[in-house]
Amino acid sequence: MLLAVGLGNPGGGHAKNRHNIGFMALDAIVEHHRFQRYRAKFSGSVAEGRIAGRRIAALKPLVYMNDSGRSVAEAARFFRVPPDHIIVLHDEIDLAPGRLRVKRGGGHAGHNGLRNIHAHIGPDYCRVRLGVGHPGHKHRVAGHVLRNFVKADQAWVNGILDAVAEHFALLVEGDDSTFMSKVAHDMQAVLPKRAPSKGNEDGPPKREGDDGI
């Protein structure tokens, strides 16, 4: 069994925030693969289904981002899922909008949701990093991720959600590189034009915490 986790903040006021793209991606997976309806459990909402012949539990922790690990740990204990069978989908400011990377293990890069998951289950889980872009200055990060996607973002946001759901079976099977390639191929027509990069997207620089968001 695998546990797929989407990160976000609860409440209607946050539903369309950049910080909630993990929730959006998980919802797309649940809908595309016709999971059962979400039910309240583990301080969150969980839906179950099958992808590539494997049983999957899809979890949205309905606690604030910096407390996500508690919900993840509860679900992992209940389903007896080890950390290396957990996939976390989350926003990533150190990737350009619409870009995606898969990472297994390693640090949390200052993301408070991941930091809290690390504290509860350790680092040995898989992350699907969904790029939402960086505002350019550290002090603007909180405002950036807690604002809604704008109309100009809609094509690439819908594109990446559809692509992640369509090709998620590859990730379930452990084929991370093909999953990333397929998503990148599907995104070619809808990606926004990229500004010159000031950093290395494959290895984001360390950053300070994002004030509990």
Task: Taking residues 151-172, report their average pLDDT.
Answer: 97
44-51/39-41 β-pairing: antiparallel
What is the tens place of the pLDDT at every residue in 27-56?
999 999 999 999 999 999 999 999 999 999
pLDDT category at 5 given cuts 50, 70, 90 is very high
Q: Which amino acid is at 45?
A: S
Catalytic site positions? 19
pLDDT of residue 127: 97
Provide mean pLDDT across the span 20-30.
98
More confident residue, 48 or 201: 48
Average pLDDT of the residues in 111-139: 95
**Domains of the chain with CATH codes:** 2-187 (3.40.50.1470)
CB crowding 88-120: b at 16 or more within 10 Å, else e: bbbbbbbbbbbbbbbbeeeebbbbbbbbbbbeb
Q: Which residues lie across from 129 on neighbouring strands?
A: 90, 101
Residue 191: which pLDDT band, with cuts at 50, 70 and 90? confident
